[in-house]
Amino acid sequence: MALDVAAIQASLRAEGLDGWLLYDFHGSNPIAAGLAGLAGGGHMTTRRWYYLIPAHGQPIGIVHAIERRNLDQLPGEKIVYARRDELEAALTRVLSGVKRVAMEYSPLCAIPYLSRVDAGTAEAIRSRGIEIVSSGDLVQRFEAAWSSSQLASHRRASEALYRIKDRAFAAAADALRGDKELSEYDLQQQMVGWFLDERLVTDSAPVVAIGANAGDPHYLPTTERSKRIVPDQVLLLDLWGKEDTPGAVFADITWVAMTSARVPEVVSRAFRAVADARDAAVQVVEDAAAAHREIHGWEVDRAARGVLEREGYAKQILHRTGHSLGESVHGNGVHLDDYETHDERRILPGTGFTVEPGVYFDTFGIRSEINVFRGEDDVTVTGPRQAEVLTLL
């Protein structure tokens, strides 16, 4: 993706910033590498590089002599260094007159997904009398926002995931009705094959978790650790994927079923609370969009978690309400989080994210996950919302 320098500079001026300083060493800052066009191979990045986009004037980069071509695709002047004193002099020159600069930094590491600049590099910048502020909303606007084609790719991936989900529950139901042996791992591997059928790629096989395993949010069955799918248990499926095309973005869904003809009240009550929390999160974003009011990730998490806490599930919450979606399943945009972190980034137009509250017990777990896209004037849930726990018999 080509950097829109003029748009970035307009945002910097609006935020009262003198510049945005991208920095990376050996892949330590994948956000900067992606923005600079250095991600995904084709470039050796074994030395430090910097690229300053100033609020006014031409950008300027700093590259090592043995990797001098690495920033050639970006506009502006390039300073080439080899010795460490040359790097120090180049950094001083580039930052001359800069007082406030954005970097991939989060105060007190409140948002670790964003905090990519190491403490020593931050010291080197601050030693020049410069204040470092978070680039969080800049990253969202110029790296995490979806194009119209990316939104279309997300919708197609979402539709494919729902088809795979339906096939998986149908396969589990067939095995239960026929008293056939089917393990979590067996079903997961069938789903992996259906991903290929749908031409989806992913970074992990899906979560297939029954009973107590559904109470572990990041449980994954393996050949060594897998339970048989048996009657009268909660069965949770969590699956995520994207099209195998450049720039495609992920979809990510979670649904739950009972391997029985009826849903026990303890499960039904937990699901109702989770679904109400999910819908409260969507509603607060919709209300903010309708009122043209800014809303932050932490606010949405608090709205969802408040529902669960009022229903008596405070001790069963183990994670935030949702995460950014992008070309990686956990994107570089805002997360819905006031639990694990305090995400003060705004939910900006053009960004997508999951809403996935959950509650977890010793014998089962419930999570309902949907995907949401924030448009310029509206908010869209991009797939069906689960209304009740499915029954497989």
Q: Where are the domains of the chain?
A: 5-143, 145-391
Q: Do domains 5-143 and 145-391 have the same CATH topology?
A: no
What's the pLDDT at 43?
80
Compute mean pLDDT per 10 residues along the chain, 393 residues long, and list them.
88 97 95 88 88 98 96 95 98 97 94 93 97 95 94 98 98 97 98 98 97 97 96 98 96 98 98 98 97 96 98 98 96 95 94 98 98 95 98 98
Question: Which amino acid makes up residue 223?
Answer: T
Give the CA-trace dihedral at 313, 318, 324, 330, to 10 degrees.
-150
Q: What's the fold here for domain 145-391?
A: Creatine Amidinohydrolase (3.90.230)
Rounded CA separation 187/176 (Å): 12
What's the pLDDT at 17?
98
Rounded CA separation 159/7 (Å): 33
Structure pTM? Answer: 0.92
Which architecture characterizes domain 5-143 according to CATH? 3-Layer(aba) Sandwich (3.40)
What's the pLDDT at 1?
53
Rounded CA separation 346/295 (Å): 6
What's the pLDDT at 22?
98
| 33 and 74 Cβ atoms separated by less than 8 Å | no
Terminus-to-terminus CA distance in the chain, angstroms? 49
